[in-house]
Structure 1
Amino acid sequence: MAEPGPSPDQVERLLGIAARVPDHGKLTPWRFMLFEGEARSDFGQILGKVFAAATPDAGEAQIAFETNRLNRAPLVIAVISNVLEKHKVPEWEQILSAGAVCQNMLIAASAMGFGAQWLTEWYAYDPQVKDALGLRSGERIAGFIYIGSVTEEPVERARPAAHIDRWDA
């Protein structure tokens, strides 16, 4: 993906569409963290350092790849799941709501003519990365959504046929 990314008005619309999901109890069990401009490189420095420390045999090319990870798109949005524990709304429903946010964002970006990708690689689960992002207890990264202009048609992977069962009493 490349520039241009969404304009500020488009980002506002994307976030509004993303937030229009099932949300039992109106808990809003998720929040957004945006990485734009230099913030992508600044956060990339943290990723590179964490990766290098965790992977002592990594070469310079691997560390550079991790350092530049968020520069692959002009806008990266972290969707952070914030489950309210011991609440009458089951945790599973709150987690699904965060997943629905990610899916809505992909669809909205595509409808606006952008490319978008939902990633949850190692850095979505790393405790040091979570600390660097200021995640609170119980918060998890549902995904990093990369958004930008399409530079080449994405290659669609083969999908298995749907698994369908019919219940019969």
Structure 2
Amino acid sequence: MEAIELLLNRVSCGKLVEPAPSKEQRQIMYRAALRAADHGNLQPWRFLEIEGEGREQLGQLYEHAALLENPDLNDAQRDKYRRMPLRAPLVLAAIARNIDHPKVPPVEQVIATGAAVQNLINAAFAQGIGAYWRTGPMAFNKDVHEGLGMEEGETLVGFVYLGTPAIPLKPAPKADTDAFFMAWP
């Protein structure tokens, strides 16, 4: 796929099934992620691969964290939390590390990690792999962060769900660039 065609047509896919991306496909996505714009070349990111039984463990972590916030969850609500990571065969937790640097504040490091995620999902799309960048309450939950082994100063920028698209992808909507780009002053 040509680069400009990819950038103008990439869409997310929330309905994902097996198989997960192959080792070779992952390497392409991961190498693309590492080419993200990164002030100071800090590479202020790390990614956790969660698949197989790890997805079930993540679901149990979600359920546990949700129960700590609301002990009155019913069985259906608890089951929903357990099943969340099962929506794709591979889930990546994208984590921004806070590297102490005199010229690169933490916010730039979080943005750089977001750029790495965007490069990764662009590379997934280029290979026909479905991708969906998710956040939601569990991405901001301190108990989930602890369960993932996150350290002080790290920020979870989201979960990237990856797999084979289960449905045809919708065409990318046409963007009205004039609504977002304007001359100044």
- Does TM, scored on the shorter chain, surpass 0.5? yes
Cα shift at 1:6: 0.4
Query: Structure 1: which amino acid aligns with 2:180?
Result: H
- Select 2:180's aligned residue among 153, 156, 163: 163
Query: Structure 2: which amino acid aligns with 1:61?
Result: A
Whole-Å Cα distance in 2 between the matches of residues 87 and 75 of structure 1? 36
The superposition leaves residues 21-59 of structure 1 with CA deviations (integer Å, 9 ceiling, x where unpaired) of 111211111111010111111121111121123123322
Whole-Å Cα distance in 2 between the matches of residues 136 and 87 of structure 1? 20
Equivalence map 1:23-38=2 (5 Å): 23-38=38-53
5+ residue gaps, structure 1: none
Cα shift at 1:160: 7.9
Identity of aligned residues (%): 36
Normalising by structure 2, report the TM-score. Answer: 0.83
> Quick check: 2:29–2:121 contact (8 Å CA) kept in 1?
no
Which piece of structure 1 moves more, 114-123 or 83-92?
83-92
Query: Structure 2: which amino acid aligns with 1:152?
Result: I
- Select 1:149's aligned residue among 135, 159, 164: 164
Cα shift at 1:158: 7.3
Correspondence 1:87 to 2:66: no
Whole-Å Cα distance in 2 between the matches of residues 144 and 20 of structure 1? 19
Normalising by structure 1, report the TM-score. Answer: 0.90
Correspondence 1:9 to 2:24: yes
Query: Structure 2: which amino acid aligns with 1:164?
Result: F
> Quick check: 2:95–2:157 contact (8 Å CA) kept in 1?
yes
**Count of matched residue positions in the alignment of Structure 1 and Structure 2:** 168
Whole-Å Cα distance in 2 between the matches of residues 84 and 119 of structure 1? 24
Q: Residue 106 and residue 87 in structure 1: after superposition, are their counterparts in 2 closer, same or farther (change >3 A)? A: same
Give the root-mean-square deviation of aligned CA atoms: 2.0
Q: Residue 60 and residue 116 in structure 1: after superposition, are their counterparts in 2 closer, same or farther (change >3 A)? A: same
Q: Residue 27 and residue 52 in structure 1: after superposition, are their counterparts in 2 closer, same or farther (change >3 A)? A: same
Cα shift at 1:4: 0.8
Correspondence 1:97 to 2:112: yes
